[in-house]
Amino acid sequence: MSETSDTRTPAQIEADIERRRQRLAETLDEIGVRVHPKTIVGDAKARAAATVDRTVGRVYVRANRAVSRVTGGFVTEDGSPRLERIVPVAIVVVGLVGLMTLGGSRKGRD
C-alpha cells in the first residue's frame, strides 16, 4: 500500500484490519491442522512408508544383481547352460540331500 495512514479513510483502515484478521485466521487454521495429532501421525506414517519403500527397493535391486551374478556363472552369454559348472554343483546338492536323508532315517531308528 503506497498510501500513508494519514490519507486513508476509516473505511479503508477497517477493510485493511478485516483483511489482516482473515489472513491471521487462515494462518491459525493452518497451524491447527499441522499440529493436530492425526496430521502428525499421518505424516509420520507417510515418512515411514517412504523409508520402507526405499529400503525394499534397494533390497530388490541387490537381490536382482546377486541372482544375475549367480545365473551368469551357470549360463553362457548366449543363454546355454554351462554343464562344467552345473554338474558339480548338482552332485554336491544330491550328496547333501542324501546325507540328510540318511541322518534323518538313522535318528528315527534310535
* pLDDT, tens digit (0-9, with 9 covering 90-100), for 8-43: 999 999 999 999 999 999 999 999 988 899 989 999
* pLDDT, tens digit (0-9, with 9 covering 90-100), for 51-99: 999 999 999 999 999 998 888 888 888 888 888 988 999 999 999 999 9
C-alpha cell of residue 20: 489482516
> Domain limits of the chain?
82-110
- Exposed e or buried b for every residue in 42-69, given b needs 16+ CB within 10 A? eeeeeeeeeeeeeeeeeeeeeeeeeeee
Amino acid in the structure at residue 55: T
Q: Is the pTM of this model over 0.75?
A: no
C-alpha cell of residue 13: 483502515
